[in-house]
Amino acid sequence: MFSTIAVPSGKANPHRREVSAVPESEVLRRRNEELEKELKKSIEREEKMKEELQKTWDRLRVAEEAEERLCSQLGELEAEAVDQARAYRTRVINLMDQLSLAQKLLESASISR
C-alpha cells in the first residue's frame, strides 16, 4: 500500500522532466522531522519566555519590597516632623510668654519711676 508522490529531478534535461517516485512514508517522515524541529524551537522559546517572566516577577517583588520600606521610612519621617513641629511651637509660645512678661516688667518699672 505504497502511494507515491512525483518529484521532479533537478538533474534532468530542462526540456524533459524526469519524475522520481518518493514514497509517501518518506515525505511524511521528512515533514515529521521538520515539525519536530519547529516544536523543539517552540519549546526553547517558551522556556526562554518563562525564564524572562520569572526574572521580571523577581524584579517586581524586589521593587514592591523597596516601596514598602520607603513608605515605612516616609511614615517615620512624617511622625518625626510632626513631633519637631510641636516642640518648635511649644518653644515659640514659651519665648512669646517670656517676652510678654519682660515687656510688662519694663512697663511697670518705667511707670514706677
Three-class DSSP labels, the chain:
CCCEEEEECCCCCCCCCCEEEEEHHHHHHHHHHHHHHHHHHHHHHHHHHHHHHHHHHHHHHHHHHHHHHHHHHHHHHHHHHHHHHHHHHHHHHHHHHHHHHHHHHHHHHHHCC
Interval 89-105: pLDDT, tens: 999 999 999 999 999 99
Task: Calculate mean pLDDT across residues 35-42.
Answer: 97
At residue 67, the pLDDT reads 98
> Residue 109: pLDDT band by 50, 70, 90 thresholds?
confident
Task: Calculate mean pLDDT across residues 9-16.
Answer: 52
At residue 15, the pLDDT reads 55
Whole-model pTM? 0.52
